[in-house]
């Protein structure tokens, strides 16, 4: 098949093969790129990259649109409810032996019965929408490093995607971004991931569903979690033995108390960075209190001796 000619700025670019038809708008900014990244990469490359790791699946929540549509569906039901109330009032004010609201069978086929039939699918749509929207709203937002992954891909594949369609990860949408698979990572885990040498220790073998790229590296979550736990254990032992040996060499009580206070504060900060769940404040407080109790016991024993 002969290659299609270069389209004009206001035309649509359509590439047709025996199995696929792709149609995208062609902006003038893309026309200036000699390597045509929108043709060689584009959405096929982006979707393959995003599907290769849970950390890349960053999407919009559309909170404002969701609230607006919820209010619209609610208002439609409110108007229908008002019509139903007016029909009930009209039926209750009819002369004797006429009207009333005591039977669905006798009311069958009436305007009120038809209105109820119209309300049923609307109410079901409203309930389904509210339940789906509440689940999306309850999901935690995407973390900064996950958003940066997508932004970096756009930077490394400049003009592969039409610029307005990259705006979903713009800074004004940071608070509206979520990930499909939520796996919170502690501040310590994120800090360790910044070191290229550390990431290389846990790199995994290439698979068919992963992108071969010099800008994308894959590593084992399981082994990285194990390494992070080992760092936490080692740090905990250091935080326990260093102040004990230091206190053993200090005689003055005010200095010993200062050492104790400093290590307790440092322990709380490091523990905060090592936890991930929503109740980290209470867990950090409880663990810090236990750590302070151990140091206080040794401080009192040293003072009495």
Q: Structural domain of residue 96, as residue ranges? A: 63-138
Same domain, yes or no, for 107 and 17?
no
Same domain, yes or no, for 218 and 263?
yes
Instruction: Note the pLDDT of residue 176.
Output: 94
Q: Give the contacts of 175 (CB within 8 A, at least 6 positions apart).
A: 141
Mean pLDDT of the 26-38 span: 48
DSSP string, 227-244: HHHHHHHHHHHHHHHHHH
Neighbour-count burial of 164, counting CB atoms closer than 10 A to its CB (0-12 exposed, 13-18 middle, 19+ buried): exposed
**DSSP state for residue 203 in the 8-state scheme:** B
Same domain, yes or no, for 107 and 256?
no
Same domain, yes or no, for 44 and 96?
no
Same domain, yes or no, for 19 and 167?
yes
The answer to whether 244 and 236 are in contact (CB under 8 A) is no
Same domain, yes or no, for 191 and 268?
yes
Same domain, yes or no, for 152 and 49?
yes
Half-sphere exposure of 184 (CA within 13 A, CB side): 12
Same domain, yes or no, for 305 and 206?
yes
Instruction: Note the pLDDT of residue 125.
Output: 97
pLDDT exceeds 50 at position 22? no
Listed range (16-30, 53-67, 196-210, 241-255) with the worst mean pLDDT? 16-30
DSSP string, 121-139: HHHHHHHHHHHHHHHHHHS
Tell me the average pLDDT of the chain: 78
CA separation for the pair 247, 237 (Å, rounded): 16
Q: Give the contacts of 302 (CB within 8 A, at least 6 positions apart).
A: 247, 248, 256
Instruction: Note the pLDDT of residue 26.
Output: 39
pTM (2 d.p.): 0.63
Same domain, yes or no, for 262 and 199?
yes
pLDDT tier, 278 (very low <50, low <70, confident <90, very high otherwise):
low
Same domain, yes or no, for 234 and 303?
yes
Residue where a domain terminates, one of 127, 152, 183: 183
CA separation for the pair 199, 224 (Å, rounded): 8
Same domain, yes or no, for 72 and 82?
yes
**CA distance readout (Å), 267 to 61, 180, 227, 232, 244:** 37, 34, 19, 11, 14
Q: In the chain, how many domains are there?
A: 3
Between residues 299 and 169, the one the model is more confident about:
169
Same domain, yes or no, for 75 and 106?
yes
């Amino acid at each position: 098949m002969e290659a299609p000619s270069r389209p004009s700025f206001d035309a649509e670019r359509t590439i047709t093969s025996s199995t696929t038809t792709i149609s995208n708008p062609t902006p003038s900014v893309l026309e200036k790129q000699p390597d045509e990244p929108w043709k060689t990469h584009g959405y096929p490359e982006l979707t393959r990259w995003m599907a290769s790791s849970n950390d890349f699946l960053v999407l919009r929540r559309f909170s404002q649109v969701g609230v607006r549509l919820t209010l619209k569906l609610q208002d439609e039901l409110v108007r229908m409810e008002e019509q139903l109330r007016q029909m009930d009032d009209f039926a209750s004010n009819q002369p004797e032996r006429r009207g009333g609201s005591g039977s669905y069978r006798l009311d069958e086929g009436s305007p009120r019965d038809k209105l109820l039939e119209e309300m049923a699918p609307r109410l079901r749509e409203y309930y389904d929408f509210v339940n789906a929207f509440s689940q999306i709203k309850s999901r935690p937002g995407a973390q900064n490093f996950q958003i940066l992954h997508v932004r970096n891909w756009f930077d490394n594949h400049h003009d592969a995607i039409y610029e307005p369609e990259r705006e979903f990860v713009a800074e004004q949408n940071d608070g509206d971004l979520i990930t499909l698979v939520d796996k919170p990572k502690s501040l310590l885990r994120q800090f360790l991931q910044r070191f290229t040498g550390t990431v290389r220790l846990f790199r995994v073998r290439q698979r068919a569903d992963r992108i071969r790229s010099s800008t994308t590296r894959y590593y084992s979550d399981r082994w990285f979690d194990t390494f992070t736990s080992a760092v936490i254990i080692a740090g905990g032992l250091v935080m326990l033995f260093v102040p004990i040996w230091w206190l053993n060499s200090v005689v003055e009580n005010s200095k010993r108390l200062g050492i104790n206070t400093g290590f307790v504060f440092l322990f709380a900060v490091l523990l905060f960075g090592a936890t991930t769940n929503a109740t980290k404040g209470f867990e950090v407080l409880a663990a810090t209190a236990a750590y302070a109790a151990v140091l206080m016991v040794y401080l009192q024993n040293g003072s009495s001796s």
